[in-house]
Structure 1
Amino acid sequence: MAESLEDLSTMLNDLNGVSQRIGLKMNMDKTKIMFNVHVTPMPVVVASTMLEVDDEYVYLGQIVRLGKSNFDREVNRRIQLGWAFWKLRHIFLSGIPQSLKTKVYNQCVLPVMTYGSETWSFTAGRMRTLKVTQRAMERAMLGVSLRDKK
């Protein structure tokens, strides 16, 4: 974080220089710049590379955004990751009895979906979305459709 673009540029160039002196190299493809509403976005160049400006990006598994946080996007992204992990079920459910499949869900898929959730502000709508997804995944585990009358 910096007070001005000049400060930011100086800080990043200093970081790059010190890193190179001790044998490290900044990954300019992963280095991103974000501006708040009080700063006019302008290009920032470090070691002859113009850094990319982003509104949001994933850092340590969470979407980082400036301004008003929109946790709905993070919840939806996590649900997509949970379904992607569920698609690998043929790998981690092979040979497991039907009675243990819910346990596998709780130990494998649920943590993928709720990683970092302690920072989310939960509304009734977000809770409902997660519950609906959980029930849909449990139905998928059991091979039961919503159309089945069981």
Structure 2
Amino acid sequence: MLRWFYGHTRKDRVQNEVIRDRVGVAPIEEKLTQHRLRWFGHVQRRPPDAPVHNGVLEQVDNVKRDRGRPKLTWDESVKRDLNDWHISKEIALDRSAWRLAINVPEP
């Protein structure tokens, strides 16, 4: 979509990063992380008896996993994102501080 917006085709052989810089859009990975952390903040601010806590935050230990590398779960990816962005999950209880912490600035 950004290629079309900027007037380039695949034949022009312009890299995606160059087009994103010219248009001024943040990288997709950062935006996905931001949305995942925004949902995590929403879940953290809900009361403990809310239905969203039943399926998201409970760990089930007696499930047999398939062979090979285990699938990356949502909570594992959130823990990784919090660690990468150097954010503690206690900040999620304050909505304004949480929004400032997970904001991805546009270039």
Same fold? TM cut 0.5 = no
User: Which one has the largest radius of gyration?
Assistant: 1
TM-score bucket of the superposed structures, by smaller chain: 0.3 to 0.5
What TM-score do you get using the length of structure 2 for normalisation? 0.32
Higher share of residues assigned helix: 2
Question: Counting strand residues as a fraction of each chain, which structure ranks higher?
Answer: 1
